[in-house]
Amino acid sequence: MGPERQPRINLLAYRQEEAELQRKSQRTIIIAVLITVILVAAAASILGNQNQQVRALEEQNQQLEQQVEELSQVAAVASGISDQEVKTLGSRKALLAKLEEERTIDPQQLRDIYALSVPDITIGKMDIKTNGELTINAYTGSQAKLINFLENLQQEDFVKEIQRLSSKRNDKTGEISFTLVITGEVISQ
Protein backbone atom coordinates (compact mmCIF):
# COMPACT_ATOMS: atom_id res chain seq x y z
CA MET A 1 0.00 0.00 0.00
CA GLY A 2 1.27 3.14 -0.60
CA PRO A 3 2.11 5.94 1.49
CA GLU A 4 -0.85 7.29 3.27
CA ARG A 5 -1.71 10.74 2.79
CA GLN A 6 -1.89 12.73 5.88
CA PRO A 7 -4.22 15.63 6.05
CA ARG A 8 -2.54 18.93 6.06
CA ILE A 9 -2.96 21.15 9.09
CA ASN A 10 -2.99 24.83 8.41
CA LEU A 11 -0.88 26.41 11.16
CA LEU A 12 -0.77 29.70 9.36
CA ALA A 13 -4.05 30.97 10.88
CA TYR A 14 -2.83 30.16 14.38
CA ARG A 15 0.44 31.99 13.78
CA GLN A 16 -1.43 34.96 12.33
CA GLU A 17 -3.66 35.18 15.41
CA GLU A 18 -0.61 34.99 17.65
CA ALA A 19 1.15 37.72 15.65
CA GLU A 20 -2.00 39.89 15.83
CA LEU A 21 -2.20 39.48 19.63
CA GLN A 22 1.46 40.45 19.95
CA ARG A 23 0.90 43.57 17.85
CA LYS A 24 -2.14 44.55 19.95
CA SER A 25 -0.23 44.10 23.19
CA GLN A 26 2.71 46.09 21.75
CA ARG A 27 0.33 48.88 20.68
CA THR A 28 -1.25 48.89 24.15
CA ILE A 29 2.17 49.13 25.80
CA ILE A 30 3.28 51.90 23.42
CA ILE A 31 0.06 53.86 24.04
CA ALA A 32 0.43 53.43 27.81
CA VAL A 33 4.05 54.58 27.63
CA LEU A 34 3.11 57.59 25.48
CA ILE A 35 0.27 58.58 27.85
CA THR A 36 2.63 58.26 30.83
CA VAL A 37 5.27 60.39 29.09
CA ILE A 38 2.67 63.03 28.20
CA LEU A 39 1.33 63.12 31.78
CA VAL A 40 4.83 63.38 33.26
CA ALA A 41 5.71 66.16 30.80
CA ALA A 42 2.50 68.04 31.65
CA ALA A 43 3.14 67.69 35.39
CA ALA A 44 6.73 68.88 34.96
CA SER A 45 5.52 71.83 32.89
CA ILE A 46 2.90 72.80 35.50
CA LEU A 47 5.40 72.44 38.32
CA GLY A 48 7.96 74.55 36.46
CA ASN A 49 5.34 77.23 35.77
CA GLN A 50 4.30 77.33 39.43
CA ASN A 51 7.92 77.59 40.53
CA GLN A 52 8.39 80.54 38.20
CA GLN A 53 5.27 82.20 39.60
CA VAL A 54 6.46 81.62 43.16
CA ARG A 55 9.87 83.13 42.35
CA ALA A 56 8.20 86.12 40.69
CA LEU A 57 5.93 86.66 43.70
CA GLU A 58 8.87 86.32 46.11
CA GLU A 59 10.81 88.94 44.12
CA GLN A 60 7.77 91.24 44.13
CA ASN A 61 7.34 90.72 47.88
CA GLN A 62 10.99 91.52 48.48
CA GLN A 63 10.69 94.72 46.40
CA LEU A 64 7.59 95.77 48.32
CA GLU A 65 9.29 95.09 51.66
CA GLN A 66 12.23 97.22 50.54
CA GLN A 67 9.85 100.02 49.57
CA VAL A 68 8.13 99.81 52.95
CA GLU A 69 11.49 99.91 54.70
CA GLU A 70 12.58 102.91 52.62
CA LEU A 71 9.32 104.74 53.31
CA SER A 72 9.62 103.99 57.02
CA GLN A 73 13.12 105.40 57.02
CA VAL A 74 11.98 108.50 55.13
CA ALA A 75 9.12 108.98 57.56
CA ALA A 76 11.45 108.48 60.51
CA VAL A 77 13.98 110.96 59.13
CA ALA A 78 11.25 113.46 58.32
CA SER A 79 9.81 113.32 61.81
CA GLY A 80 13.05 112.55 63.62
CA ILE A 81 11.98 109.20 65.11
CA SER A 82 13.38 105.67 64.81
CA ASP A 83 11.87 102.65 63.03
CA GLN A 84 10.94 101.11 66.35
CA GLU A 85 9.13 104.28 67.37
CA VAL A 86 7.27 104.27 64.01
CA LYS A 87 6.11 100.69 64.65
CA THR A 88 5.16 101.57 68.23
CA LEU A 89 3.15 104.57 67.05
CA GLY A 90 1.35 102.42 64.47
CA SER A 91 0.36 99.85 67.07
CA ARG A 92 -0.74 102.60 69.48
CA LYS A 93 -2.92 104.17 66.80
CA ALA A 94 -4.53 100.79 66.10
CA LEU A 95 -5.13 100.27 69.83
CA LEU A 96 -6.66 103.73 70.19
CA ALA A 97 -8.96 103.10 67.22
CA LYS A 98 -10.10 99.82 68.77
CA LEU A 99 -10.70 101.44 72.15
CA GLU A 100 -12.67 104.25 70.49
CA GLU A 101 -14.96 101.63 68.92
CA GLU A 102 -15.43 99.78 72.21
CA ARG A 103 -15.93 102.74 74.50
CA THR A 104 -19.18 102.94 76.37
CA ILE A 105 -18.91 106.46 77.80
CA ASP A 106 -17.50 109.50 76.03
CA PRO A 107 -14.96 111.62 77.97
CA GLN A 108 -17.21 114.64 77.43
CA GLN A 109 -19.96 112.79 79.26
CA LEU A 110 -17.65 112.35 82.25
CA ARG A 111 -16.93 116.08 82.15
CA ASP A 112 -20.68 116.74 82.09
CA ILE A 113 -21.15 114.59 85.21
CA TYR A 114 -18.35 116.50 86.91
CA ALA A 115 -19.93 119.82 85.88
CA LEU A 116 -23.23 118.72 87.44
CA SER A 117 -21.46 117.95 90.70
CA VAL A 118 -19.68 121.28 91.11
CA PRO A 119 -19.85 122.89 93.74
CA ASP A 120 -22.24 120.76 95.81
CA ILE A 121 -20.82 117.26 95.25
CA THR A 122 -17.19 116.16 95.60
CA ILE A 123 -16.44 113.17 93.37
CA GLY A 124 -13.71 110.93 94.72
CA LYS A 125 -13.67 108.24 92.07
CA MET A 126 -15.41 107.17 88.85
CA ASP A 127 -15.06 103.61 87.50
CA ILE A 128 -16.25 102.62 84.04
CA LYS A 129 -17.00 99.01 83.17
CA THR A 130 -17.13 97.62 79.64
CA ASN A 131 -20.89 97.12 79.73
CA GLY A 132 -21.51 100.87 80.06
CA GLU A 133 -21.85 100.82 83.83
CA LEU A 134 -20.40 103.81 85.68
CA THR A 135 -19.75 103.75 89.43
CA ILE A 136 -19.34 107.11 91.17
CA ASN A 137 -17.98 107.40 94.71
CA ALA A 138 -18.57 110.89 96.13
CA TYR A 139 -19.71 112.88 99.15
CA THR A 140 -21.83 115.94 99.80
CA GLY A 141 -22.93 118.16 102.65
CA SER A 142 -26.66 117.34 102.60
CA GLN A 143 -29.36 115.03 101.34
CA ALA A 144 -30.95 117.88 99.37
CA LYS A 145 -27.73 118.38 97.35
CA LEU A 146 -27.58 114.64 96.62
CA ILE A 147 -31.20 114.59 95.46
CA ASN A 148 -30.63 117.65 93.26
CA PHE A 149 -27.55 115.97 91.73
CA LEU A 150 -29.53 112.78 90.99
CA GLU A 151 -32.36 114.74 89.35
CA ASN A 152 -29.92 116.62 87.14
CA LEU A 153 -28.10 113.39 86.29
CA GLN A 154 -31.33 111.68 85.18
CA GLN A 155 -32.00 114.51 82.74
CA GLU A 156 -28.76 113.81 80.83
CA ASP A 157 -29.28 112.04 77.47
CA PHE A 158 -26.48 109.51 77.94
CA VAL A 159 -27.80 108.22 81.30
CA LYS A 160 -30.06 105.22 80.71
CA GLU A 161 -30.90 104.53 84.34
CA ILE A 162 -29.66 104.81 87.90
CA GLN A 163 -29.18 101.22 88.98
CA ARG A 164 -28.07 101.53 92.60
CA LEU A 165 -27.53 104.19 95.20
CA SER A 166 -26.12 103.58 98.62
CA SER A 167 -25.37 106.38 101.03
CA LYS A 168 -24.05 106.77 104.55
CA ARG A 169 -24.14 109.82 106.81
CA ASN A 170 -21.12 110.64 108.94
CA ASP A 171 -22.53 111.66 112.34
CA LYS A 172 -19.43 113.68 113.28
CA THR A 173 -19.14 115.84 110.15
CA GLY A 174 -22.67 115.59 108.79
CA GLU A 175 -21.35 114.69 105.34
CA ILE A 176 -23.07 112.06 103.26
CA SER A 177 -20.83 109.68 101.35
CA PHE A 178 -22.50 107.74 98.57
CA THR A 179 -21.87 105.23 95.81
CA LEU A 180 -23.95 105.61 92.69
CA VAL A 181 -24.12 103.08 89.83
CA ILE A 182 -25.59 104.26 86.53
CA THR A 183 -25.73 102.79 83.05
CA GLY A 184 -24.94 105.00 80.12
CA GLU A 185 -24.23 104.94 76.44
CA VAL A 186 -22.06 106.88 74.04
CA ILE A 187 -24.00 109.74 72.51
CA SER A 188 -22.46 111.11 69.29
CA GLN A 189 -21.84 114.78 69.48
Start-to-end CA distance of the chain, whole Å, equals: 136
pLDDT for residue 39: 93
Q: How do the domains of the chain map onto residue ranges?
A: 11-102, 103-184
pLDDT tens for 65-120 read 888 888 877 776 666 666 666 677 777 777 777 766 666 566 777 777 777 777 88
For residue 129, how far is the Cα from the chain centroid?
24
More confident residue, 83 or 174: 174
Phi and psi (nearest 5°) for 53?
-65, -40
pLDDT tens-place string over residues 7-27: 766 667 777 888 899 999 999
Average of per-residue pLDDT across 47-68: 90
Q: Is a pLDDT exceeding 60 seen at residue 32? A: yes
How much helix, strand and coil, in percent to the nearest 5, is found in the chain? 60, 20, 20
Give the pLDDT mean for 117-144: 82
Quote the pLDDT of residue 35.
95
Helix (H, G, I), strand (E, B) or coil at 127: strand
Which CATH number, 3.40.50.10210, 1.10.357.10, 3.30.390.50, 3.30.1360.100, labels domain 103-184?
3.30.1360.100
Q: What is the pLDDT of residue 81?
A: 62
pLDDT of 189 higher than 50: no
Please list, in sequence order, all residues whose beta carbon lies within 8 angstroms of the beta carbon of residue 164, skipping any fewer than 6 positions away. Answer: 179, 180, 181
Which residues neighbour 42 within 8 Å (Cβ) at sequence distance 6 or greater? Answer: none
Residue 181 near residue 164 (C-beta atoms within 8 A): yes
Distance CA 55, CA 20 (A): 52
Q: What confidence score (pLDDT) does residue 3 get? A: 64
Q: What is the pTM of this model?
A: 0.43
- What's the pLDDT score for residue 96? 75
Nearest-CA neighbor of 55 among 44, 45, 63, 67? 63
Compute the average pLDDT of residues 30-54: 92
